[in-house]
Structure 1
Amino acid sequence: MSKINQLIQNLCPAGVEYKKLENVLIIKNGRDYKQFGDGNIPVYGSGGIMTYIDTAVYDKPSVLIPRKGSLDKLYYVDTPFWNVDTIFYTDIDTSLVEPKYIYYYLEGQHLERLNKAGGVPSLTQAVLNKVQLPVPPLEVQREIVRILDSFTLLTAELTAELTAELTARKSQYEFYRRKLLTFDESIPQLQLRDVASFRNGKGHEKNIADNGKYVVVNSKFISTNGQVIKNSDEQLSPLYFDDIAMVMSDLPNGRALAKCYLIDKDDKFTLNQRIGGFHTLDENIVVTKYLFYILDRNWQLLKYDNGVDQTNLKKDDILNISIPVPAIDVQKRLVYMLDNFDAICSDLNIGLPAEIEARQKQYEYYRDVLLTYAATGKIIAQTDRQTDRQTDRQA
């Protein structure tokens, strides 16, 4: 912070003045856009860009502040735009403040905490106008913007690299899984109905309970590998240890169709409607974990997705698929190899998103420190939130 420190010492050695938002900008409402034609001007709502039209409401740099809905999402826009009534735009006095400095400062203030509405979260101009911000000289503001722009770019590049790495590893896993589970004509084939029993689940809509004893195995639960959970106070369709649950219905080009989940415990899960439940008939013919890997996103079932309509797999569609049945020792060896590969991919699925989140927290932490330093000329004692972030990074 040597340059910032020098600027502060030279330009505001006595400290930085605080001003209310209403003293440095004018908050303006959005309006409907439907009377305009198609074009290349983005239309912003509280959730981001909604569409594009041929008319702009404003053509100078501005900070867009949600009025209703997703209050934590601010937008900095420096090209012509239109905004609807769920988000404010700001006419900023650039003789006092840099627009992007405003954006960075307000981004760290968590304006959603100012919500006073009982229903849909909302902010008012009256509340926002009273928000105070430090207003150092413009040279200091520009240096802050330069530093945070650089840090934002680095964070975005790292996030993109990590995301690409995660996608590549998933593709690699799918490639090798398919390779391992592809057999030549010398391996006997049986229909699924010959090696496993089948049953359909039941609707649990009326039995959902936050503290229910049973986990409802639905498409969301399976597609997230058990991360998104709904509970039921009744076990309408019990699942048992080593049952295989499969998603039978999904949207066009969905990623959940034929996705499977292996049940690991009795008296814990209940099978929802449009989820198929399978149980191996004879472990001396087909090992359960091997069958799980064969069924999970099986290509013979994915072909029913035409990319246009909702896909609903029928019982016979599923039970008629071919299951390669190599020797039991081969099945177990394949399970061992796929378990190990799956464990590596699971570690990546946890580790890479956690790394992305850590980098975002690191950015937020240094943004807050930098803006605090610019306002006070010193790094103040950390807030609980900042301390938590450092702990996260050191853990």
Structure 2
Amino acid sequence: MSKLEELIQELCPKGIQYHLIGDICDVLTGGEAPPESIKEKEPQGEYIYPIYSNGLGDNALWGYSKTFRIDKPAVTFSSIGTIGFPTLREAKFTPIIRLKVIYPKDANKLNICFLKYALEIVQFEKQKSSVANVNALMIKNIKIPVPPLEVQQEIVRILDEFTVKTAELQAELNKEYEARKKQYEYYRDTLLNNNAEIPKIKLGEFAVISRGGNFQKKDFVDNGLPCIHYGQIYTHYGTYADTTLTTINEEAYRKSKKAKKNDIVMAVTSENIEDVCKSVAWLGDKDIAVSGHTAIISHHQNAKYLSYYFSSNAFFKQKKKLAHGTKVIEVTPNTLANIEVPLPSLEVQNRLVEVLDNFDSICSDLNIDLPAEIETRQKQYEYYRDSLLTFAETGHIMPQTDRQTDKQ
């Protein structure tokens, strides 16, 4: 920051000029995909030039073509739906679907990376239309600070360095989480499957397996009776639960299949083999309605023990043999009866659950802490970025408190 302050004092002591994007940049709008193009995620043969639509970063990649429209470094800016997300594009490409392309008229006066960072802090008022959109005129009327090139380059250097360090920290945190997760899975599988003396009993011999069914998402209400929809098992629930995410109306509840305390609710339909047969042990006192595409497993064992087993590698190998389908993967509930489960005494099950609960708690804490740490770093980055790109009339970088007051 001291070097940046020195540059500002030396090169622009009287202040920083602000310019309209339309005065210093060309703004183009994407159109249709070239006639010779392919909708692929990787280049194929002569189709080597990427085609980008609206979206965030690499998610904006639409496909590839033999030709290109933009042949210079530019910033793309989503203008419909997912508004914003300025992305630096340095290779030749073609924009489509109203994607905006912005590049300096004079690269000796405006650094393309500085332009990208400046566009990150732009905010538009919400449009009244059902789909948010930004037109070229709105972008041309954006006003950004344009300090001397040396100042721009120093700001870019600082933000690039901060971005790299943030990415490195995020990668390190993710690596730590994955290592702990694998460690947990190893101990879970070892505890549940590595004892030859524990008999393996077919599920159908000690449990009753029935189908869930009847209610749908349209039956959800704010203050109703508890329910679990099969899709929530993938996204919301862990190994066990005693409260539900949603409730349904009384009529739908009355007609629905129900799970009682200690039952296992298993999703038997999914888009992939990993999620199919994902399970949650219901530990709440009240019976819950269960949607279709599920199996309800009633038993007299430790429900958490069974749910832990249904997330183990040994169970994965068994369910994989039962699964069928391509786009939609299914396991027929009655075939689950042949699944073999290592079934020690209830006393041993209880001890194993106590150990696994401790491991599970550690992983859950990491899963909560990781996104929180990443969010903190993102906010820290945004704070410094906004500070670096907001100038007072004197040309000095504005203090945070003054900048907040100015925006208000």
| TM-score (ref. length: structure 1) | 0.88
What is the aligned partner in structure 1 of residue 6 from structure 2? 6
Counterpart amino acid of residue 396 in structure 2: G
SS at match of 2:258: coil
Question: Equivalent residue for 2:339?
Answer: 321
Given candidates 71, 75, 96, the residue that maps to 2:87 is: 75
SS in 1 for 2:295: strand
- In structure 1, the partner of 2:281 is 262
Deviates more, 1:48-57 or 1:287-296: 287-296
Q: 1:213 aligns to what?
A: 224
Tell me if the contact between 1:18 and 1:134 (Cα under 8 Å) persists in the aligned partners: yes
Compute the displacement of 1:345 (Å): 0.8
State which of 351, 358, 365 in structure 2 corresponds to 1:347.
365
Which residue number corresponds to residue 308 of structure 2? 293
The offset of 1:385, in angstroms, is 8.4
Q: Return closer, same or farther for 1:147/1:51 CA change in 2, 3 Å cut-off.
A: same
Alpha-carbon distance between aligned partners in 1 of 2:122 and 2:309, rounded to the nearest angstrom: 50
SS of the aligned residue for 1:64 comes to strand
Question: Residues of 2 paired with 1:30 and 1:291: CA distance?
Answer: 54
Give 2:257's match in structure 1, choosing from 221, 231, 237: 237
Q: Which residue is equivalent to 1:392?
A: none
Distance 1:215 1:80, change over 3 A: farther
Change (3 A) 1:86 1:215: farther
Report the Cα offset of residue 306 of structure 1. Answer: 6.5
Structure 1 residue corresponding to 2:135, chosen from 111, 114, 124: 124
SS of the residue 1:103 aligns to: helix
Question: 1-side partners of 2:287 and 2:171: how far apart?
Answer: 39
Matched residues in 2 for 1:164 and 1:311: separation?
A: 30
How far apart are residue 239 of structure 1 and its match?
A: 3.0
Asked whether 1:380 is paired with 2:390, we answer no
In structure 2, the CA distance between the partners of 1:206 and 1:105, relative to structure 1 (3 Å rule), is closer
Distance 1:382 1:211, change over 3 A: farther
Structure 1 residues 106-160: Cα deviation after superposition (integer angstroms, max 9, x where no partner): 11223xx334242122111122211111111111111111111111111111111
Separation of aligned partners in 2, 1:11 and 1:206? 62
Cα distance change on mapping 1:206 and 1:187 into 2, 3 Å? closer
Question: Match of 2:36, as an amino acid?
Answer: F
SS at match of 1:114: coil
Distance across 1 between alignment mates of 2:286 and 2:329: 30
Q: Shift in Å at residue 212 of structure 1?
A: 4.2
Please list every run of at least 4 consecutive aligned residues from structure 1 whose deviation after the TM superposition is greater than 6 angstroms. 383-386
- Does residue 50 of the first structure (1) align with residue 66 of the second (2)? no
Cα RMSD (Å) of the superposition? 2.5
Structure 1 stretches of 5 or more lacking a match?
Answer: 387-395
Instruction: State how far apart, in whole Å, the 1-side matches of 2:377 and 2:226 are.
Output: 33
Q: Residue 382 and residue 339 in structure 1: after superposition, are their counterparts in 2 closer, same or farther (change >3 A)? A: same
- Does structure 2 retain, via aligned residues, the 8 Å contact 1:249–1:311? yes
Report what 2:157 is aligned to: 146
Partner of 2:108: 95
Distance 2:343 2:188 in 1: 16
Secondary structure in structure 2 of the residue aligned to 1:165 = helix
Cα–Cα, structure 1 residues 181 and 206, in superposed 2: closer, same or farther, change >3 Å?
closer
Aligned partners of 1:80, 1:87: CA distance in 2, in Å? 15
| Maintained 8 Å contact 2:29/2:136 | no
Does structure 1 residue 15 correspond to structure 2 residue 15? yes
Q: Could you say which residue in structure 1 is the equivalent of 2:72?
A: 60
Spell out, residue by residue over 1:7-52, the C-alpha distance to the aligned partner (whole angstroms, 9 max, x if none). 1101111111111111111211112224124522111111211112
Report the Cα distance in structure 1 between the residues aligned to 2:180 and 2:403, rounded to whole angstroms.
36
- Matches of 1:54 and 1:104, distance apart in 2: 31
Q: Which residue of 1 aligns with 2:295?
A: 276
Tell me the CA shift for residue 331 of structure 1.
Answer: 1.3
Distance 1:64-1:347 versus aligned 2 partners, 3 A rule: same
Shift in CA distance, 216/287, structure 1 to aligned 2, threshold 3 Å: closer
